[in-house]
Structure 1
Amino acid sequence: MAMPSMLHDHRPCAVVRGTPVITERRVRANGFRSRSLSVDGGGPPMLMLHGFSDTADTWRPVMRELAARGQQATAVDMPGYGRADRTRPGAMLPQIEGFVAELLERSGPDTILVGNSLGALASLRTAAAVTSELGGVVAISPAGFGHSRLIRYAEHAGLATNLLRVPFVPNRLMEAMVGKAFARMACGNHALADAEAVKAYAEQFRQRADVRRILGAGPAIIREIKAAADTLTLDCPVLAIWGSRDRLTLVGGSEELMDTLPDSELVVLPGFGHCPQLEVPDGVAELLLNFSSRTAAAPAR
C-alpha cells in the first residue's frame, strides 16, 4: 500500500537548528514513576507505547517526523522498562494497562493510542476497557497475533538463557551484543535501524542482573499475552500496521487480528520488520497523520 501524502494542517513546533525539540519529563500513573518524551504541536494528542523490553526512545525518530509536521505526541516508558519503576509481583498486563488508562484520562478526548508489540496489545486492551472517547488506536505489530517460532521458544526457554550461559561478559560487550541482537530481531533490514534508539535499548542491559530481570520476564508476559489477545471488543477506529519481514509477530497474524476486530484497517509495509518506527519513521509518521485526519473527519460512532 502506498504511503499517504503529507498533511499540511498542523502548526509548527519549536525547533533547535532545524531539529524538533523532544522534552523529557518525569510522570507518575497507577503508582508507577516513569519518564515521558514529548513534542509540541497541534492535532489530537498521540500517546505512544513501546514493546516488550524496549523504551520510549524507540519513538524518537517518529516523534521528530511528527513534530516537523506540527503534530503533538508523547511517549512513555511502561512499568518495568526504561526509567520506569519495576512492576509489582503478579500479572504484569493489568499493571501496564492501569498505567496507560490513567495517562489516557489526563490526555483528554480524541487521544490516539499508538503502540508497538506489547504496547500495541496494551493500547487495544486499554481502549476496550476505558469509557473516555478515543480518537482511535494504531497497533504496530501487536503482540498476541502470529507469534513466530522465536517467540514460542522464548516462552519456554526464556530470552535470557543463552546470554546468561556465557560465564563472563564485560558490561560494554554485553550492551553491544544486546543492541546488535535487538536490531536484527526488530528490523527487516538491521542496517536501517535508528542508532540512537538501539543504543538506548541496549543501555538498559548494563549487568547480567539486568538481562535476568528484563528478558527473564519474557515467558510470563508471553503467557499473559496469549491469554489476552483474542478477547478484544473495541468501539473506536483501529489501524494495524505490519512489516512483511516481521520475525517476531508474523504478518499472517494480521488475519487473526482482522477476525477479532473486523472493522480494523490494515497496512502492510513491504520489507520492514517488527519495529518499523526504527526503519521507516517518515512512513510511519505519514500513516499516523493520515489516520488522525480521517478519524477526525469521520462521524462519531
Structure 2
Amino acid sequence: MKQNIILLHGLFGSLSNWKHVINNFSDAFNIHAPEIPIYDDHRENILDFLVNDLKQYIESRNLQNLVLVGNSLGGHIAILYASRYPEKVIKLVLTGSSGLYENYSIGSFPRRHDYSYIQHQVANTFYDSKCATKELVDEVFEILSDNKKCFKIIKTAKITQRSYTTDILPGIDLPVLLIWGIEDRITPKSVAEEFKLLLPNATLVYLSECGHAPMMEKPDEFNKALNEFLNT
C-alpha cells in the first residue's frame, strides 16, 4: 500500500510550489496537495481553523500512514496536526517552517499597490532573485490588491508569529526531517537549529545558496533529501 504524502504550502504559497515534488514522487506515493483556506471566513483562531480543515480533508478521504510536508505556514499546520493526532502521522518534513520565529516585514503593507516593492519582497524569499518570476510576483500582487485577502494575510501572519510551538515540539517523537536553506532570511538557520534541538528525533539538512522555499529554489537537492528520508 502506498504511503500518503500531504504537501502544505505557505502563507503566499500555492499548489504550484510543489510541482517538482509532485512530479518526482507521484509514482511511488499517493500525493495530496490541498489548498489551504487562508481566505475563508471563520470564528476560530486561524491556526485551529486550518488544522481542523486539514483534519476534515484527511478524514473525508480516510487517509492513514501520513507523511506531512510543510513549508512556512504549512509547516506550522503540520506541527500542530502531528501533535494533536500522532496516531495518523508516521513522518514529518519541515522546510522554512513557522512556529518558532519568522522575520516577516509584513506590517500593514503600506506599499502593497507598488509593484516594484512587491517584486522586491517576493525576491527576498529566495537566495536567487531570478526565482521571483513575473508569474509569481503577479500572483502575490493580485492577492495584496484584494482588500479582504490582504487583511487575512496580515492577520494570519501576526497570529502565527505569536503562536509558538516550543512547548509541544518535545512531545513529537516521530521521525522529522528539516530541510533548510542556509540563506533563508525569513526563518534563518538558527530557527532550524532550534527545531532540531527541541524535536526528539530530527535530522537537519542544509541547502546552500537557498532561501525560504527550498522545494522551489533547489528542487533536485530537496527531492534527494526527501527521498532518502522516505526510504529509511
| TM-score past 0.5 threshold | yes
Summarize the alignment of residues 114-193 of structure 1 with structure 2, pairs less than 5 Å apart.
114-148=69-103, 151=104, 154=106, 158=107, 160-163=108-111, 169=113, 174=115, 178=118, 180-193=119-132
Q: Distance in 2 between matches of 1:107 and 1:187?
A: 36
Any stretches of 5+ residues in structure 2 without a counterpart?
Answer: none
Task: From 203, 227, 231, give the equivalent of 2:168.
Answer: 231
Partner secondary structure for residue 80 of structure 1:
coil
CA 1:212–1:109: 2 relative to 1, 3 Å: closer
CA distances 1:264-301 after superposition (whole Å, capped 9, x unpaired)? 1110111101111121122222222221111xxxxxxx
Q: Distance in 1 between matches of 2:57 and 2:167?
A: 24
CA distances 1:5-24 after superposition (whole Å, capped 9, x unpaired)? xxxxxxxxxxxxxxxxxxxx
Quote how far apart the aligned CAs of 1:220 are: 2.9
Q: Distance in 2 between matches of 1:87 and 1:240?
A: 32
TM-score (norm 1): 0.67
Quote how far apart the aligned CAs of 1:99 are: 1.4
- C-alpha contact (below 8 Å) 1:112/1:137 kept by paired residues: yes
Q: Which residue of 2 aligns with 1:249?
A: 187
Task: From 170, 189, 207, give the equivalent of 1:269.
Answer: 207
Q: Distance in 2 between matches of 1:163 and 1:64?
A: 36
Q: Which residue of 2 aligns with 1:46?
A: 5
Summarize the alignment of residues 1-301 of structure 1 with structure 2, pairs less than 5 Å apart.
43-67=2-26, 70-81=28-39, 86-105=40-59, 106=61, 108-148=63-103, 151=104, 154=106, 158=107, 160-163=108-111, 169=113, 174=115, 178=118, 180-193=119-132, 199-223=138-162, 225-226=163-164, 228-232=165-169, 233-294=171-232
Q: Distance in 2 between matches of 1:247 and 1:103?
A: 32
CA 1:293–1:75: 2 relative to 1, 3 Å: same
Quote how far apart the aligned CAs of 1:250 are: 0.8
CA 1:222–1:198: 2 relative to 1, 3 Å: same
Q: Distance in 2 between matches of 1:101 and 1:214?
A: 22
Count, aligned residues: 230
Task: Using the aligned pairs only, state the percent identity.
Answer: 24
- C-alpha contact (below 8 Å) 2:5/2:69 kept by paired residues: yes
Which deviates the most, 72-81 or 133-142?
72-81
CA RMSD of aligned residues (A): 2.6
Quote how far apart the aligned CAs of 1:197 are: 5.1
Q: Distance in 1 between matches of 2:210 and 2:47?
A: 27
- C-alpha contact (below 8 Å) 1:115/1:123 kept by paired residues: yes
Q: Distance in 2 between matches of 1:80 and 1:198?
A: 19
Partner secondary structure for residue 206 of structure 2:
strand
TM-score (norm 2): 0.85
Which deviates the most, 96-105 or 261-270?
96-105
Quote how far apart the aligned CAs of 1:184 are: 1.4
Quote how far apart the aligned CAs of 1:100 are: 1.6
